[in-house]
């Protein structure tokens, strides 16, 4: 279990800047997610930690040792790939043993014992003598996980390992990852574009955008108090509405107002209204028109026009509003997030 | 309603396929038939049934020597073509030098072998005075090489490109990755290529004819010589043995890996 | 050791082999073709074209190759089309049927034709019975024999060239044409043929160059009187030992082939998906 420290990491491919001055410290045993859309640089950063990419500038330190110029073979890491990357010509057992062989850890007997332990941890002991092509996607990914933890690496790196699995398998694997992390406690860096995954697995979420870190915080904090408009819209379905704040009141484009808490930013602001925080109810403070209704089974989703803007609101199926109707919205002042600008 | 294919056309198609099959396979059937004929004249359909021509072939030193020469040569060619071709295929699959190099390596497939034959004969005779086994070995390896490269490249193209990176993160050094990760993945392609190489070398006539000398007569060359002057059914027996070897190789090849994928390449 | 160096280390044996066995021999051949007793000259080329015999050999080679290519296309296209539209199982058997002759030795195949085409052979007898020839007519030593033997040898090349192209195109294009009212043959003409054109061109170039360079089959089936260019080269190398002249003829053959192969290799580089 080790610290990982990234200092002033810059990376450019030719003329394209992919990472601009990344600074990040991951404490021993922490599970950190790199979250972001395609192209934000999260995978490149992971590969830099692995040694599969070089840096244009900056330093990578593991346990205080500068590994920036070391090749992946010499770093004490383990990595899981989106495509599993199992050695197709070896059995599951030999696949899991491979890192121990390469790093010359222990005698042959000891290596096989470690392999058995790892396979048990992912519940695949019964498939130890199968070939990868005989396994399902989920099973292959579990083999990849066993292979990653067997050598007790200083840092465990995961490159969107669950993206190729279907929804149910993904959820099962997420639970397994949580349990294994709880048990073994490896320093883990996890790349994903799925915010739910990042929120449920991590001790800390690092949101990346355009090669910089947009925000880094524990899951709850980053979801409930996103620091920027980008963070708000990336995490959870949020409606962003421009408004002007003065005298404890936020005025929307069409003149409607709602009360805001004291201490909120003044002047031009952006109101962040989560779908689930807006209620369609008589006596609400705001008026809006229904544009479209989307039937979702147990709920309806409504596209409403509020202050010349389209917003999205979710309501139970028992309430039905037709396009063209006018409805009233209740927005709790404590449920509105106000961002400057 | 759109009809798929009119029935008359379907019947015509099958007749056509049958006739084409006849065109393609008749000469081979004929050769086999003549080899078991009793008559000492070359006639088809064969008259009677006899294996005497096989006995005669087995007791003719010229044919036996040629057979062993061809066999030994093909084995050596298979070895060199597989090793050199396999290495080249691995190098080409790294994909950094562009398709021109690949085209260069595969060009003996489309270039007529007479082009090499003349040049090789002239070059080596000028340098060494006479052709030798080594020249023939070189020549056969050159034309067998592209087969190994093509089949191995096809296998390498299907692999997961991240496996090599995964091996790096697991601590495998360069040589270890080559021997323990890349090479095992190549094996189906190498095996298929080896079969092609053996077959190509064993059956090869043009290079062998140009590079022959009295001590260097391969089996196809021996057959050609007989055909030019005085064929008797012994030639048919020898030819049938060659066909059988080809058939065995094809069956083994199909067993080890489907022929289909290499056909549409 | 870097990645780059490892890659070149892997490629060097193959490159060395090709230089030794391919590039240098061709160079030697080129040099020989312009050498004579006194130094360098083009007399061999001049001799080739001024003699009354050799231009005829060249013409025969070109003309026969064109005919062979034509028949390979005529037979090969429908055959490949049927293969492309068969079930995978049937297609596999058809592929085997096509590949098997390809994998046997050319001398064996030609021997088979010799048996069929000589005076007492099945085909000659059949033609005599049909009244298409005199009493001692035989197909051996005719141009038809050469064409027949070569088509069997080269048809598989045409089929394999076409198969890749035909298998790759979307069968729904044909279905769409049919729903728009095209008859079966019209569909072939307007949809299939244009799409298959790269394969047709590639296959034709390949077959043409291979047939222009063949000597085993044409020599055995055509006889001494119907010499082709490759046969003449063989004779000059092994019998009359006139190597300079043989080299010149080879250069002429090589030049003609290179002219056709360069567009083919360009096509191949693009056409291989």
Query: To probe the interface with B, which of A71, A101, A102 has the most B CB atoms within 10 Å?
Result: A102
Mean pLDDT value across chain B: 86
Residue of chain A nearest B185, judged by CA positions: A89
Instruction: With CB atoms and an 8 Å threshold, state whether B210 touches C206.
Output: no
The domain of C220 spans 49-271
Residue of chain C nearest B178, judged by CA positions: C6
Looking at residue C206, its pLDDT comes to 87
Instruction: With CB atoms and an 8 Å threshold, state whether B118 touches C10.
Output: no
B20 lies in some domain: no
Residue in A70, A79, A96 with CA at minimum distance from that of residue A153? A79
Task: Report the CATH number at residue C106.
Answer: 1.10.3720.10
Domain end call among A211, A229, A247: A229
Query: Which of B166, B173, B181 is the closest to A81 by Cβ?
Result: B166
C2-61 tens-digit pLDDT: 788 888 899 999 999 999 988 888 888 888 888 877 777 788 888 888 888 888 888 889
Q: Considering only residues 215 to 234 of chain C, which have any Cβ-Cβ distance to chain B shorter than 8 Å?
A: 215-216, 220, 230, 233-234
Choose between C263 and B169: higher pLDDT: B169
Dist CA B24 CA A311 (whole Å): 72
Name the token pair of A236: 């959870």
- Within 8 A of B190 by CB-CB distance, chain A residues are none
Task: Report the CATH number at residue A254.
Answer: 2.40.50.140
Instruction: With CB atoms and an 8 Å threshold, state whether A78 touches B170.
Output: yes
CA distance C136 to chain B (A): 16
Q: How far apart are the first and last CA of chain A?
A: 42
CA distance C130 to chain B (A): 19
Task: Let me know: does A47 contact A18? Beta carbons within 8 Å.
Answer: no
Task: Report the CATH number at residue A203.
Answer: 3.40.50.300
Query: Which of B163, B173, B187 is the closest to A87 by Cβ?
Result: B163
Contacts 24+ apart (CB under 8 A), B250-259: B250/C96, B250/C99, B250/C100, B250/C103, B252/B195, B253/B192, B253/B195, B253/B196, B256/B188, B256/B191, B256/B192, B256/B195, B257/B188, B257/B191, B257/B192, B259/C92, B259/C95, B259/C96, B259/C99
B215 lies in some domain: yes
High-pLDDT (> 90) share of chain B, %: 43
If pLDDT is split at 50, 70 and 90, which confidence band does C69 have?
very high
Dist CA A313 CA A319 (whole Å): 12
CA distance C269 to chain B (A): 7
Dist CA C245 CA C252 (whole Å): 11
High-pLDDT (> 90) share of chain C, %: 19
Give A39's Cβ-side CA count (13 Å radius). Answer: 3
CB-count exposure of residue A274 (10 Å: 0-12, 13-18, 19+): buried
- Is any Cβ of chain C less than 8 angstroms from the Cβ of B167? no
Looking at residue A93, its pLDDT comes to 94
C129 lies in some domain: yes
For helices C143-168 and C54-84, the axis angle rounded to 10 degrees is: 40
Dist CA A99 CA A94 (whole Å): 9
CA distance B111 to chain C (A): 8
The dihedral through the CA atoms of A119, A122, A124, A130 has a sign that is negative
A234 lies in some domain: no
Task: Let me know: does A165 contact A172? Beta carbons within 8 Å.
Answer: no
Q: Tell me the pairing of strands A257-259 and A249-251.
A: antiparallel
A101-149 tens-digit pLDDT: 999 888 999 999 999 999 998 889 999 999 999 999 889 999 999 999 9
Task: Let me know: does B20 contact C79? Beta carbons within 8 Å.
Answer: yes
Looking at residue B96, its pLDDT comes to 67
Name the token pair of A330: 């209740």
Name the token pair of B119: 């040049």
Mean pLDDT of C96-113: 89
Most confident region among A32-46, A325-339, C42-56 by mean pLDDT: A32-46
C170 lies in some domain: yes
Dist CA A56 CA A11 (whole Å): 5
Q: Tell me the pairing of strands A31-35 and A187-192.
A: parallel
- Within 8 A of B172 by CB-CB distance, chain C residues are none
Residue of chain A nearest B188, judged by CA positions: A89
Contacts of A291 (CB under 8 A, 6+ apart): A302, A303, A304, A305, A310, A323
Q: In the 3-class helix/strand/coil scheme, how is A107-126 assigned residue by residue?
A: CHHHHHHHHHHHHHHCCCHH
Query: Which of C110, C152, C230 is the closest to B114 by Cβ?
Result: C230
| Structure letter (DSSP) for residue A262 | T
Cβ pairs B/C, distance under 8 A = 267
3-class state of residue B4 by DSSP:
coil
B87 lies in some domain: yes
Domain total in chain C:
1
pLDDT exceeds 60 at position C271: no
CA distance B258 to chain C (A): 9
Instruction: With CB atoms and an 8 Å threshold, state whether B110 touches C14.
Output: no
| Structure letter (DSSP) for residue B213 | B
Instruction: With CB atoms and an 8 Å threshold, state whether A73 touches B171.
Output: yes
Residue in A221, A220, A240 with CA at minimum distance from that of residue A230? A240
B166 lies in some domain: yes
The domain of B165 spans 60-263
CA dist list (Å): B102 to B105, C12, C272: 5, 13, 12
B127-150 tens-digit pLDDT: 777 778 888 999 999 999 999 999
3-class state of residue A212 by DSSP:
strand
Query: To probe the interface with B, which of C1, C10, C232 has the most B CB atoms within 10 Å?
Result: C10
- Within 8 A of B180 by CB-CB distance, chain A residues are 87
Looking at residue A102, its pLDDT comes to 92
Residue in B164, B174, B93 with CA at minimum distance from that of residue A81? B164
Residue carrying the six token digits 């030049």: C255
Looking at residue C135, its pLDDT comes to 63
Longest CA–CA separation in chain C, Å = 76
Query: Which of B159, B165, B184 is the closest to A52 by Cβ?
Result: B165
Residues A202 and A334 in one domain: no
Domain end call among A204, A229, A254: A229
A50 lies in some domain: yes
C138 lies in some domain: yes
Residue of chain A nearest B177, judged by CA positions: A102
Name the token pair of B12: 């015509």
Query: Which segments of C43-142 does DSSP mark as H helices, in order?
Result: 43-50, 54-84, 88-103, 106-117, 122-129
Looking at residue B4, its pLDDT comes to 60
C12 lies in some domain: no
Dist CA C245 CA A11 (whole Å): 64
B177-219 tens-digit pLDDT: 999 999 999 998 999 999 999 999 999 999 999 988 888 899 9
H/E element, C219: helix C216-222
CA dist list (Å): A65 to A6, A246, B257, C125: 12, 53, 49, 90
The domain of A310 spans 239-340
Domain end call among A198, A229, A260: A229
Task: Report the CATH number at residue B76.
Answer: 1.10.3720.10
Global pTM value: 0.82
High-pLDDT (> 70) share of chain B, %: 93
CA distance C21 to chain B (A): 6
Dist CA C113 CA C149 (whole Å): 7
Domain total in chain B:
1
Task: Let me know: does A146 contact A178? Beta carbons within 8 Å.
Answer: no
Query: To probe the interface with C, which of B27, B98, B179 has the most C CB atoms within 10 Å?
Result: B27
Q: Tell me the pairing of strands A204-209 and A31-35.
A: parallel
Instruction: With CB atoms and an 8 Å threshold, state whether B168 touches A102.
Output: no
pLDDT exceeds 70 at position B5: no
pLDDT exceeds 80 at position B257: no
Q: Considering only residues 16 to 55 of chain B, which have any Cβ-Cβ distance to chain C shorter than 8 Å?
A: 16-17, 20-21, 23-31, 34, 41-45
Binding-site residues on chain B for chain A (CB distance < 8 A)? 159-160, 162-163, 165-173, 176, 180-181, 184-185, 187
Residues A95 and A132 in one domain: yes
């Amino acid at each position: 279990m080790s610290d990982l420290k990234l200092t002033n990491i810059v990376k450019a491919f030719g003329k394209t800047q992919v990472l601009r001055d990344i600074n990040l410290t991951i404490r021993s045993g922490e599970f950190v997610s790199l979250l972001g859309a395609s192209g934000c640089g999260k995978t490149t950063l992971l590969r830099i930690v692995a040694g599969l990419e070089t840096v244009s500038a900056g330093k990578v330190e593991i346990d205080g040792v500068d590994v920036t110029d070391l090749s992946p073979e010499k770093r004490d890491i383990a990595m899981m790939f989106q495509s599993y990357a199992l050695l197709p010509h070896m059995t599951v057992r030999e696949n899991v043993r491979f890192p121990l062989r390469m790093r010359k850890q222990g005698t042959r007997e000891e290596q096989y014992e470690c392999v058995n332990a790892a396979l048990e941890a992912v519940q695949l002991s019964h498939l130890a003598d199968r070939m990868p092509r005989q396994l399902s996607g989920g099973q292959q990914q579990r083999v990849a996980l066993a292979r990653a933890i067997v050598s007790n690496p200083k840092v465990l790196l995961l490159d969107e390992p669950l993206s190729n699995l279907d929804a149910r398998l993904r959820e099962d694997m997420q639970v397994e990852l949580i349990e294994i992390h709880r048990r073994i406690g490896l320093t883990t860096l996890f790349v994903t574009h799925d915010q739910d995954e990042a929120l449920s697995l991590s001790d800390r979420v690092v949101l990346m955008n355009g090669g910089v870190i947009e925000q880094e915080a524990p899951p709850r904090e980053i979801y409930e108090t996103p620091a920027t408009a980008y963070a708000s819209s990336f995490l959870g379905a949020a409606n962003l509405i421009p408004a002007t704040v003065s005298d404890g009141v936020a005025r929307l484009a069409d003149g409607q107002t709602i009360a805001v808490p004291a201490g909120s930013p003044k002047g031009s602001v952006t109101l962040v209204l989560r779908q689930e925080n807006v209620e369609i109810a008589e006596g609400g403070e705001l008026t809006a028109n229904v544009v479209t209704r989307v039937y979702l089974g147990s709920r309806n989703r409504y596209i409403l026009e509020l202050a010349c803007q389209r917003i999205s609101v979710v309501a139970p199926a028992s309430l039905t509003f037709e396009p063209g109707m006018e409805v009233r919205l209740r927005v709790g002042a404590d449920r509105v997030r106000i961002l400057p600008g | 309603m759109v009809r798929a294919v009119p029935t008359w056309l379907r019947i015509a198609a099958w007749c056509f396929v049958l006739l084409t099959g006849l065109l393609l396979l008749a000469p081979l059937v004929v050769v086999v038939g003549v080899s078991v004929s009793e008559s000492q004249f070359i006639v088809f359909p064969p008259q009677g049934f006899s294996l005497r021509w096989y006995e005669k072939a087995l007791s003719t030193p010229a044919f036996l020597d040629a057979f062993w020469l061809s066999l030994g040569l093909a084995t050596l060619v298979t070895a060199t073509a597989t090793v050199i071709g396999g290495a080249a295929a691995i190098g080409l699959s790294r994909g950094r030098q562009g398709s021109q190099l690949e085209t260069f390596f595969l060009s003996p497939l489309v270039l007529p072998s007479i082009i090499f034959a003349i040049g090789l004969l002239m070059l080596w005779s000028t340098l060494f005075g006479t052709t030798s086994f080594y020249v023939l070995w070189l020549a056969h390896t050159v034309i067998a090489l592209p087969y190994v490269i093509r089949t191995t490249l096809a296998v390498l193209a299907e692999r997961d490109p991240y496996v090599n990176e995964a091996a790096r993160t697991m601590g495998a050094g360069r040589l270890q990755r080559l021997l323990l990760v890349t090479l095992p993945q190549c094996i189906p392609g190498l095996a298929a290529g080896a079969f092609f190489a053996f077959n190509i070398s064993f059956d090869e006539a043009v290079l062998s004819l140009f590079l022959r000398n009295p001590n260097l007569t391969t089996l196809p060359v021996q057959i050609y010589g007989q055909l030019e002057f005085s064929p008797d059914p012994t030639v048919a027996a020898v030819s049938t043995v060659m066909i059988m070897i080809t058939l065995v190789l094809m069956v083994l090849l199909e067993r080890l890996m489907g022929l289909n994928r290499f056909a549409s390449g | 050791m870097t990645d780059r160096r490892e890659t070149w280390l892997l490629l060097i044996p193959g490159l060395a082999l090709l230089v030794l066995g391919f590039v240098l021999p061709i160079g030697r051949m080129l040099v020989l073709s312009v050498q004579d007793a006194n130094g360098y000259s083009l007399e061999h080329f001049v001799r080739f074209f001024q003699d009354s015999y050799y231009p005829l050999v060249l013409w025969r080679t070109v003309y026969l190759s064109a005919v062979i290519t034509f028949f390979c296309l005529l037979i090969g296209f429908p055959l490949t089309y049927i293969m492309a539209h068969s079930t995978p199982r049937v297609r596999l058997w058809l592929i085997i049927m096509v590949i098997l002759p390809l994998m046997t030795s050319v001398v064996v195949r030609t021997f088979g034709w010799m048996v069929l085409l000589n005076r007492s052979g099945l085909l000659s007898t059949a033609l005599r019975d049909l009244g298409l020839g005199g009493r001692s007519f035989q197909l051996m030593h005719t141009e038809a024999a050469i064409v027949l033997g070569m088509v069997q040898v080269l048809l598989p090349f045409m089929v394999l060239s076409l198969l890749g192209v035909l298998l790759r195109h979307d069968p729904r294009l044909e279905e769409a044409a049919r729903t728009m009212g095209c008859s079966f043959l019209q569909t072939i003409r307007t949809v299939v043929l244009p799409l298959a054109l790269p394969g047709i061109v590639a296959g034709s170039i390949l077959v043409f160059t291979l047939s222009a360079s063949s000597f085993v089959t044409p020599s055995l089936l055509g006889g001494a009187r119907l010499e082709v260019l490759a046969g003449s080269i063989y004779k000059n190398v092994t019998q009359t030992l006139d190597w300079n002249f043989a080299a010149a003829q080879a250069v002429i053959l090589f030049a003609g082939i290179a002219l056709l192969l360069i567009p083919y290799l360009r096509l191949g580089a693009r056409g291989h998906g």
